[in-house]
A and B are shown apart, each in its own frame.
Chain A
Amino acid sequence: MLHIVNKSPLDRNSLDTCLATAQPGGALLLIEDGVYAATNGNAAAGKLKQAMGQMKVYALKPDLEARGMADRVLEGVNLVDYGGFVDLVTEHATCQSWL
């Protein structure tokens, strides 16, 4: 399934709970303030790297660009536009937004 996280990992625990709950083989899409987790030097980067062994990690490029963070994306994170977001939703049978 597709997990969507829209919160900064330093503001809320959504990413932590998502990663602890998500089963291997799923996908994680970071949108809105969630994209900060996918940037170099962020305290959550280690957790995200670890998660990459279990699931594919995506981040919404327009949200990274809007925040001036598109030049420091963590290696291994796949960038998608809104069309890519749609594809992720249709490719997975269910999605859960960790609000």
Chain B
Amino acid sequence: MSEGQIKKFMYVNRKAPHGTIYALESLEVVLIAAAFDQDVSLAFMDDGVYQLKKGWNTKGIEVKSFQPTYRALDDYDINKLYVEKEALEARGLTEEDMCVPVEVLSRAEIGKLMETQDVVLSF
């Protein structure tokens, strides 16, 4: 890896958890990214906001809950988590339903942040 090069990476999450593996495997990328000392932010849009809905109990579907990993992101200095306002509203959710501290932004505001990135990754 090139020393000292810091790029702005945004990870865009638009898929609900459990129904498909995208949420889990995207989170795995984010955790690895933390080790590279890049400028990392996460955007949760559309059904992606369901990833942060607190109170998962996955016992009944016999799948390991990876919700604690979202709460651990802060330990990796990943604390720029943006949640789409319109997505929350369309799903009957509020900021209080989120399992971690987030910044609620409109789609347009997320769009502006997206423009400032070097790399945008979407799964």
Binding site for B on A (CB under 8 A): 1, 13-14, 17, 20-23, 26, 93-99
Contacts and interface: CB of A to CB of B under 8 A. Distances in A.
B122 A94 contact: no
**5 tightest A-B contacts by CB?**
A21-B111, A96-B120, A20-B107, A21-B107, A23-B111
B86 interface: yes
B86 A20 contact: yes
Interface string B46-57: 100000000000
Interface of B: 12, 14, 45-46, 86, 107-108, 110-112, 114-115, 117-120, 122-123
Given A13-B46, A17-B14, A21-B45, A97 B122 contact: yes
Contacts, number: 44
Contacts of B114: 1, 21, 23, 94, 96
B45 A94 contact: no
A20 B108 contact: yes
B112 A17 contact: no
10 contacts: A1-B120, A13-B46, A14-B14, A17-B45, A20-B107, A22-B111, A23-B108, A94-B114, A98-B122, A99-B14
A50 to B, nearest CB: 15
Nearest to A24: B111
B118 A21 contact: no
Contact of B118 (A23, A94, A98): A94
B107 to A, nearest CB: 4
